Structure 1
Amino acid sequence: MKLLLAPMDAITHQAFRNLVGRFGGCDEYFNEMINASSLLNDGPWEKFYLFEGPEPQKLVWQLTDKNGSKMAEAARILAEKNGIGIDLNMGCSAPQIAKTGAGIAWMTKPLSETCDMVRKVKSALENAAKDGFKAKRLSVKLRLGDESYTEEKLHNFCAMLIEEGVQMITLHARTQKQKHSRPSNWQAVENLALRFPEIPVVLNGDVKDSVSFETAQKTAPHTQGIMIATAAAQKPWIFAELKNLIPAETSNCNEMQGLFDAEQLALDFIDDVEKFQPEVFWKTRLQRFFAFYCLNFSFGHYFQSQMLNSADNNDARKRLHEYFEKCPDDKIFKLKNC
């Protein structure tokens, strides 16, 4: 069973991936989605999306755009870099993405248009391999579809993807408008895996701890991986905790036998944000991280409010120190299952 870090906007950049790597990492890291048009136009921030650490051999590049030809051109650029694959975003349901024709819109466009896009991307990857670059896996991350979803429609759509060369599918088993308050349909993931045993099908949604992890495995035993999003944003060490629940797996909980300094971990993250993100992104990247991370602690909502209102990075460092001075019992954290 593979463990995968989900692509999350403004979160799964290298500074955050480094945190996950501190605890032994995961099997595959999906970077935050790259807009194909911006990449092709050599936008001012695009180079910051292209860092490959901490484990380039496990990195998957996710692409988004409304234009199929641009997706293919961008895929060719990424095919010449390190990493194991290119992932097509067909699951993002954020209105600002879907309304442009990107993300989940690819599941609602005429099938021929989506088919043409996938074919072009696959051809770009094959041509790069012919030119001597390492072959890249083509995968798709999608949802169940729009509110007219039926299992038959989903399976027909996935049959098209596989026919055009898609080699792995990750299913976030909610429809376009379903919120996270509604349970993810893990049975739909299992049914998809049974329908297409020739490729790996990965389950995404609602796995947040050892209990939900084991329940997901029991509900969808034919899936070959579990992708974790929000829970990893809150607990970058979640993969270390879950690895000990997989037969024959060993966890790298670190030299402190599962203990870590929560304040130092956050300080190191801020340092890495300054190293791997443009200054204009610093504030939003810290806000996105601390909105989740602070919830691990005794006075999580107070801590979260303090961090989200930091004036700048140095103020964030000061507020971190002040919190752990007031709550010293929160400073050293023990990982479960380690």
Structure 2
Amino acid sequence: MFIKCCVGAFTRAPASFSDLPIEISTPLMKRLVVNGDDFGYSVQRNKGLAECYKNRSISSTSLLINGVAVDDAVHYIKQLAIPTGLHLNLTEGHPVGKQCDSLIDENKAFLGKHGFRDALQKQQINFLDIYAEIVAQVKLFITKCGQKPTHIDGHQHVHILPGVREVFSRVLQEYGITWTRLPIELDLDKCTWLSSQTLKTFLKGVVDDAVSSRDVFIKHNIKFTNGYAGLSTMGEALTTDSIMQSLTNITKHNPEACTFEYMVHPGYLTEDVGGCGCGLDGFSRSPARYHEMLVLNDPELKQRLRQCGFKLASYKDLDTVENGIITNGICGH
């Protein structure tokens, strides 16, 4: 089970998870990015993510650059050399750029997960505003972290929405950022534990948008892993068995897959202060965030991953693998 670490006693973690030993040798090593989202949301979430990285339970994070605890997160990033990407946010809290009129409401806040999507469908969004805000977030990330993000993904999957994905791809290409998340999770219709029809509809829309984004990313030389999971297993649905089943499902559909991403949201329960400038949400207040920590830090999960030939990696580790190189999500030999 989870063993609580003393944050103040953290030492510098390995610079690359590819340097860590693995007990099993396989013909094709499977690199697994376990990415913790929402770094910067609150000091409690930050502490949990940092502990998970220190425990080698996650191998990468994504930073909410407009999060109220972003500076606290940057402290951990620098102290532990945590491989970190940008969690592009166009839906929650306040923008960091100045050119954003079509992205905000009367309170100068983003329109929300559904509000932003509705505005897109109604053609009320100025894509020049999207370009300006993405650039502003990338620049602020570089200023605070002292380096480019290892990858960029989207808070609430905004980066794969129609119209946004083209602008998003252009910015990544301009800044030489080559990795993103492509959240195509297989067999969502078989996830019987997803009882909410509203959630099922939203997740199916995410997968459909991701499928439509694939060629756009390839056109702009943006890479993504062979397989992805994590949509259906957030919170209490995350277990050792569900993680292993999700990864097994990917390899069943694509036996040649050698790179994988698992999206997670661990952390301690956010108490009073958090968010992106507009207060807390129920997601961060939920005890499910701590549940995810317990699962990820369980030695049984790590043992089963090793037994199945998975080796933790960050996005910066993925450009080379033992038996080949990766180009647009394809492993070559």
TM-score range, shorter chain: 0.3 to 0.5
More helix by share: 1
Q: TM-score with structure 1 length normalisation?
A: 0.45
**Relative contact order, CA 8 A, sep 6+: which one is greater?**
2
Q: TM-score with structure 2 length normalisation?
A: 0.45
